[in-house]
Amino acid sequence: MSKMNPLLYLFMLSTVILGTIIVFLSSHWFFIWLGLEINTLAFLPLLVASYNPRSTEAATKYFLIQALASALLLLGGLLHAATINSWDPSSPLTPLPLTLLLIAIALKMAIPPCHNWLPDVLQGLPLLTGLILSTWQKLAPFYILITIQESIPTWLIVTAGFFAALVGGWGGLNQTQIRKLLAFSSIAHIGWTIAIIPFSPQLATLNLIIYFTITSTLFLAFHTLHTLNLANLSNSTNFAPWLTTLTLITTLSLAGLPPLTGFLGKWLIIQELALNTNTPAILILVLGNLLSLFYYLRIAYVISLTLSPQHTTSTLAWRTSPSSSNFPLALLIILSTCTLLISPSWLPLTF
Amino acid sequence: MSPFIILVIFSSILATLGLALNRSHLLSALLCLELLLISSFAGVALWANMTSNFPLLPASLLLITFSACEASAGLGLLVSISRTHGSDLIRSLNLLQC
Amino acid sequence: MSFVLCSLVFGGGVIVFMSRSPYFSALGLVLATCGLSGVLMLGGAVFVGLILFLMYLGGMLVVFAYSAALAADIYPEVGAGKGLVITLVGAAVLAMVVEVSWGVVEVKGLGVQEDLLGISGLYLDSWAGLLLGAFGLFVCLFVVLCLVRGVGRGALRAV
């Protein structure tokens, strides 16, 4: 089948980055909309770059959702300007434009109750495109959320956060496809991230970056291992034992187990919520994480707790020679497992 | 609150409901999206004209440009879906279910 | 006059929302665009209203009509029935209410065309907007060409 021209792919990728940068640099609701539109428009060819029916369907669903969200964002900005007579994003918002803007951001970032598109869309995409969707495309709406966060009622955003953690936990329990599992884990982690925004936006950004690191590691590792579902995953010990072990450790890091990096984000969030005496939120967030822990442990069980020549859960594959060295994956694995132990050196620099 | 906002709000509500409650054709969804963007454009242009906010008027032209870009991308996807799935019925977009 | 235009907008919106076939939704969209364009012209933004009429109706919706001919049903469902008529009457009543209580738009005469003055700034003060729009259209061309590639990948043509 035909592949996309690499120059065109690079051009579209640069335009996606340009769209997000326009959102970062703008001080007018209209230009935020413009950046998001350029972002969505240029991302569509990346979605259909592997020309198969699943990618086309995923691109259609993604396009409809993102176009609706951008239009609602513009409408919210227009209503805000009609009442307050200012197009500045940092001016305080009245309830009606705020509702429209929050619905738009929830649609863009897959925050429940607007999360149903993410598992379907991620399922239809190859893993590297799914990586861009899960990491880079979340930056622009997160920036908008940080900009308007003083106007959002605290109870609303904390409720959305723990609702997201619960939905991410429950939704992933029945999945065997890796990409859908990663979609639900994305929903859960975004829930943790937005729950802390009213108290400390810097901590939310830190948690987002930690999540980006670990999930990039997992996406790249699964791409290198060519696994698409849990059955393929059980095979990978046979031809890449070291990468499989490191994938196991990274999955446990995503679950938030100490002493791995994922625990750093969750620990700081629990500490900040406890300092603001918000114990019901901590309880529900942690219980939601417990649900996610179940399917992360299922991945751990399938990867390495059943090994050949003992009883395997699927047929053995041919052993081929390992692929060439993969420096980005190696760097990301180190970052996503060892960063907690060296955090006293870099963490004070961030706050 | 200016009087033309009622126009913008009502057509936007109808368009959003039409997009959300659509059960038949992808093309109907795209048409509702177009109505949403046209009503936003009319809102921005009327507001800019009323308050004589000069920098916003070329922005309204950019708005209509990018909404036309988005509509054409949507139509391209419609053609692509029509080729792979046979029609543009939404109930046939079921390759990615659990 | 503004009552007629307002009821065109509301009626068109109702037709877009309540039709069962995209042909009639497109018709409703045409009516709503005509109404909104008329409202814009009444309010003094004649240039912008004309742009909406020419470019949107004459350009975009013609393309929508061709795509509807390609992709929609051969035998469209026509039954709209009492629901649509009642909602249209309701929309006209709402337009009357809005017109009487607020007045939809302050009718401006053809004096100084402020929208022309503003849009001419697209070539002077906001030249970055012009470049951004040109770049966006350029990107959109390649986006659409990438999306509809068919010959090279042997896609199954069922239509």
CB atoms B19 and A64 under 8 Å: yes
State the pLDDT at residue A313.
Answer: 61
- Dihedral pair phi/psi, residue A18, rounded to 5°: -60, -40
First to last CA, chain A: 49
Shortest Cα distance from A109 to chain B (angstroms)? 18
State the pLDDT at residue A303.
Answer: 87
Domain ranges of chain B: 3-85
Name chain C contacts of B61, Cβ cutoff 8 Å: 48, 51, 119, 122, 133
CA distance A69 to A102: 10
Among chain C residues, the shortest Cα distance to B53 is held by: C118
The sign of the CA dihedral A3, A244, A206, A296 is positive
CB atoms B49 and C148 under 8 Å: no
State the pLDDT at residue C80.
Answer: 66
Q: Pick B96's closest partner by Cβ from A67, A74, A120.
A: A120
C residues 103..142 contacting A (CB < 8 A): 132, 136, 139-140, 142
Shortest Cα distance from A31 to chain C (angstroms)? 10
Is pLDDT larger for residue A55 or for residue C77? A55
Is pLDDT larger for residue A326 or for residue B40? B40
Domain ranges of chain C: 2-111, 126-159
Q: A93 and A34 in contact (C-beta within 8 Å)?
A: no
pLDDT tens figures, C106-143: 766 666 777 777 788 888 888 888 999 999 999 999 99
CA distance A178 to A127: 10
Q: B76 and C144 in contact (C-beta within 8 Å)?
A: yes
Amino acid residing at A314: S
State the pLDDT at residue B74.
Answer: 94
Q: Pick A82's closest partner by Cβ from B2, B74, B95.
A: B2
Name chain C contacts of B59, Cβ cutoff 8 Å: 126, 129
- A164–C contact, CB cutoff 8 A: no
CB atoms C60 and B80 under 8 Å: no
State the pLDDT at residue A121.
Answer: 95
Q: Pick C39's closest partner by Cβ from B42, B58, B87.
A: B42
Mean predicted lDDT score pLDDT of chain B: 88
CB atoms A63 and B12 under 8 Å: no
Q: Has residue C158 got a pLDDT over 50?
A: no
pTM of the model: 0.93
DSSP single-letter state for residue A322: P
- B6–A contact, CB cutoff 8 A: no
- C69–B contact, CB cutoff 8 A: no
Average pLDDT over residues C77-105: 74
- C147–B contact, CB cutoff 8 A: yes
B19, B63, B23: which is closest to A65 by C-alpha?
B19
- Dihedral pair phi/psi, residue C145, rounded to 5°: -65, -35
A residues 8..47 contacting C (CB < 8 A): 8, 11-12, 15, 34, 37-38, 41-42, 44-45
State the pLDDT at residue C156.
Answer: 47
Name chain C contacts of B27, Cβ cutoff 8 Å: 22, 25, 64, 67-68, 71-72
Q: Taking CA A343 as the corner, what is the angle to CA A337 and CA A344, rounded to the nearest 5 degrees?
A: 155
A207, A247, A210, A209: which is closest to A329 by C-alpha?
A247
- What's the CATH class of domain B3-85? mainly alpha
Q: What is the DSSP string of C40-104?
A: HHHTT-HHHHHHIIIIIIIIIHHHHHHHHHHHS-SS-----HHHHHHHHHHHHHHHHHHHHHT-S
Q: Which chains touch A (3 or more CB pairs under 8 A)?
A: B, C
- In which residue ranges of chain A is pLDDT below 50? none
CA distance C136 to C128: 12
CB atoms B70 and A67 under 8 Å: yes
CA distance C57 to C38: 13
pLDDT tens figures, A180-210: 999 999 999 999 999 999 999 999 999 999 9
State the pLDDT at residue C37.
Answer: 92
State the pLDDT at residue C159.
Answer: 45
A105, A120, A119: which is closest to A70 by C-alpha?
A105
CB atoms A2 and C153 under 8 Å: yes
- A61–B contact, CB cutoff 8 A: yes
From residue C27, how far is each of A55, C62, C110 by CA, in Å? Answer: 32, 11, 30
ipTM of this complex = 0.95
Q: Pick B33's closest partner by Cβ from A54, A59, A71.
A: A71
Q: Which chains touch B (3 or more CB pairs under 8 A)?
A: A, C
Q: What is the DSSP string of A234-298?
A: HHTTTT-HHHHHHHHHHHHHHHT-TTSHHHHHHHHHHHHHHHTT-HHHHHHHHHHHHHHHHHHHH
Annotate C82-105 with b (16+ C-beta within 10 A) or e (fewer). Answer: eebeebbeebbebbeebbeeeebb
- Dihedral pair phi/psi, residue B89, rounded to 5°: -70, 135
From residue B16, how far is each of A306, A337, B39 by CA, in Å? Answer: 50, 44, 11
C94, C74, C83: which is closest to C21 by C-alpha?
C74
Q: Has residue C46 got a pLDDT over 70?
A: yes
Among chain B residues, the shortest Cα distance to A54 is held by: B95
Q: Name beta bridge partners: A252.
A: none
Q: Pick B81's closest partner by Cβ from A60, A124, A180.
A: A60
A11, A67, A21: which is closest to A41 by C-alpha?
A67
CA distance B26 to B76: 12
Name chain B contacts of C21, Cβ cutoff 8 Å: 24-25
State the pLDDT at residue B48.
Answer: 87
Indicate the SS3 state at residue A45. Answer: helix
